Amino acid sequence: MNKIFLFIFAVLLSVSSIAFDKQLDLENRLNHLKNIFLEFKQKIIDKDGKQIFDAQGKLWIKDKTTFYIHIDSPSPVKVISNGKTVWHFNIKDRSVTVLPFEHMKKNVQILSMLNDPSFLKAIVNKHKNNAFNMILSEKFLPYKKININITEEGIIKRAEFIDDTGERIIFEFRSQNKWDVEPDKFNFVIPERTEVNDLRLSNSSNS
């Protein structure tokens, strides 16, 4: 799973997971991230301060498992989840990967971290106004720090992940609005002449 999805999935799954002291305030703010639309920009900065990646896109969130991500650049991609199935559609290559949501959750490192109680108990180190600064233990390398800026009303403005090499993954958000849920938004009809890699089949055969 590409780093571009790192923070988005982290926010989606942390909404129902955090429940400790300082984390409670963060949980209350993240709970507003339902039935919303927002635009995002992402950049990756290496340890020397050089920008090595840039992307932008749009995100519709119904709840922590139901979402639609449309990455506009550098390469158009759609990631859609209806809570049970996830479709990863590369528009340019006309290829789609289909997988169970639970399979994705188990195989994306940040998602495993958020489901680990020892991670959640120590996640928030500092909290001032709308800024939450989190320091991770060595158990969760390569990520060392997470910084989130989110208002009491749940308006998320910025997020940053810092790994053990000093590389920074930064997200900036804008145009956040509530919207009426459109159920069809979270289902995907595979276009004709599209290469399909259906991991649901291999997952069921291994279970």
pLDDT digits (tens, 9 = 90+) for 52-109: 999 999 989 888 788 899 999 999 999 999 989 999 999 999 999 999 988 776 655 5
Q: Is the pLDDT of residue 121 over 60?
A: no
Say how far apart CA 199 and CA 87 lie, in whole Å: 10
Q: Is the pLDDT of residue 16 over 50?
A: no
DSSP string across 10-25: HHHHHTTT--SHHHHH
DSSP string across 125-172: EEEETTEEEEE--GGGTTEEEEEEEE-TT--EEEEEEEETTS-EEEEE
Sort strands 66-73 and 51-61 into parallel, antiparallel or unpaired. antiparallel
**Under a CB-based contact definition with an 8 Å cutoff, are residues 89 and 76 in contact?**
no
pTM: 0.79
Alpha-helical regions (H) of 44-152: 101-107, 109-114, 117-121
Walk me through the domains of the chain, giving residue ranges and CATH numbers. 3-206 (2.50.20.10)
